[in-house]
């Protein structure tokens, strides 16, 4: 089985690592703080301390990155006002240098698509805002590598991310007519595992459940499911984009484990 390095071992990266280990892969990953390495080691992950925002221990980083396959999973944090995303990615790319991998997966987001009344396929990404421009720059850093695949996650839900909490109790929320684009953690893990284990892949895949209820219908029921107050919505009509996550199904035979958003709530 292959060795896989996962850069970023948090809410998504950790269960991905656990899944890959259960398949027989040797998994390496990192945490910023030394104290956080214990949980990784206890899970069978070969753990390294790596903080891309500080001076990098090149010897340790080189050992971490010495694997057959690489998954880069660094949350942008741009909506929270974080500003070091591209600097961190450039630092990582610098350490990688000219190393070759059997597979490189870069985790991106559906934020690269504009808010238009349109079904968005992998070909529709454009720079439509400062955030989307940064996201596309990040993708381009890794899409030029051999055997690379960009995977764009829609809104992430799952354990500790119940969508009922997102809008609970809010009033006059806009965009009640807008289609909801979400994907469950289980499908993220399964899709990345499939891409790593597939001999032939596409350059870019969206990952989004095929069910798209309106924002008003879904978040009202999601809040009630979470035992919270349902939000209220204004009556303004907003552009409604739908993320098409079917290409990975067509090309790799992927099947969504959580295709229905309201049923998905029971798995959050």
pTM: predicted TM-score of the whole model, two decimal places: 0.96
Among the listed residues 20, 35, 23, 25, the one whose alpha carbon sits nearest the alpha carbon of residue 2: 25
Does some domain include residue 41? yes
**For the segment 166-215, what is each residue's pLDDT rounded down to a tens digit?**
999 999 999 999 999 999 999 999 999 999 999 999 999 999 999 999 99
Does some domain include residue 218? no
Does some domain include residue 229? no
Per-residue burial over 187-203, b if 16 or more Cβ lie within 10 Å, else e, is bbbbbbbbbbebeebee
Does some domain include residue 74? yes
pLDDT at 80 over 70: no
Whole-angstrom distance, CA of residue 153 vs CA of residue 208 = 7
**CB contact at 8 A, 231 and 173:** yes
Cα-trace Rg, the chain: 19
Does some domain include residue 128? yes
**For the segment 10-31, what is each residue's pLDDT rounded down to a tens digit?**
999 999 999 999 999 999 999 9
Contacts 24+ apart (CB under 8 A), 214-218: 214/176, 214/177, 214/178, 214/179, 214/180, 215/173, 215/175, 215/176, 215/177, 215/178, 215/179, 215/180, 216/176, 216/177, 218/163, 218/180, 218/261, 218/262
Please give the residue range of the domain that contains residue 139.
3-157+182-210+241-256
Does some domain include residue 261? no
Among the listed residues 109, 89, 122, the one whose alpha carbon sits nearest the alpha carbon of residue 247: 122
Alpha helices in 97-214 (DSSP H): 130-143, 164-167, 185-197
- 1: confidence class by pLDDT, cuts 50, 70, 90: confident
CATH of the domain at 56: 3.40.50.720
Does some domain include residue 228? no
pLDDT at 77: 80
pLDDT at 79 over 90: no
Which residues partner with 119 through β-bridges? 242
Looking at the structure of the chain, the number of domains it has is 1
How far is the first Cα of the chain from the last one, in angstroms, to the nearest whole number? 31
Q: Which two tokens stand for residue 48?
A: 């390294």
Does some domain include residue 131? yes
CA distance to 1, 47, 59, 160, per residue, from 20 (Å): 10, 15, 25, 21
**For the segment 45-66, what is each residue's pLDDT rounded down to a tens digit?**
999 999 998 888 888 899 999 9
Per-residue burial over 126-160, b if 16 or more Cβ lie within 10 Å, else e, is eeeeeebebbbebbebbbebeebbbbbbbbbbbee
Alpha helices in 144-200 (DSSP H): 164-167, 185-197
């Amino acid at each position: 089985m292959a060795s896989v390095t996962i850069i970023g071992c948090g809410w998504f990266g950790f269960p991905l690592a656990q899944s890959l280990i259960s398949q027989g892969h040797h998994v390496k990953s990192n945490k910023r703080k030394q104290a956080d390495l214990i949980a990784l080691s206890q899970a069978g992950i070969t753990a390294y301390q790596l903080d891309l925002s500080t001076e990098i221990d090149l010897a340790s980083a080189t050992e971490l990155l010495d694997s057959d396959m690489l998954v880069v999973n660094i949350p942008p944090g741009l909506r929270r006002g974080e500003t070091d995303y591209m600097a961190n990615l450039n630092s990582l790319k610098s350490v990688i240098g000219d190393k070759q991998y059997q597979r490189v997966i870069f985790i991106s987001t559906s934020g690269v698509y504009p808010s238009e009344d349109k079904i968005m396929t992998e070909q529709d990404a454009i720079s439509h805002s400062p955030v989307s421009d940064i996201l596309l720059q990040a993708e381009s850093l890794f899409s030029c590598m051999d055997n690379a695949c960009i995977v764009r996650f829609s809104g992430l839900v799952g354990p500790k991310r119940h969508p009922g909490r997102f809008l609970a109790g809010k009033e006059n929320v806009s965009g009640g007519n807008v289609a909801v684009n979400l994907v469950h953690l289980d499908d993220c893990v399964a899709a990345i595992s499939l891409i790593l284990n597939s001999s032939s892949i596409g350059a870019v895949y969206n990952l989004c459940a095929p069910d798209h209820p309106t924002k008003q219908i879904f978040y009202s029921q999601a809040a009630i499911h979470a035992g919270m107050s349902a939000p209220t919505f204004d009556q303004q009509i907003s552009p409604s984009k739908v993320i098409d996550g079917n290409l990975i199904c067509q090309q790799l035979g992927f099947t969504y484990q959580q295709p229905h958003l309201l049923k998905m709530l029971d798995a959050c």
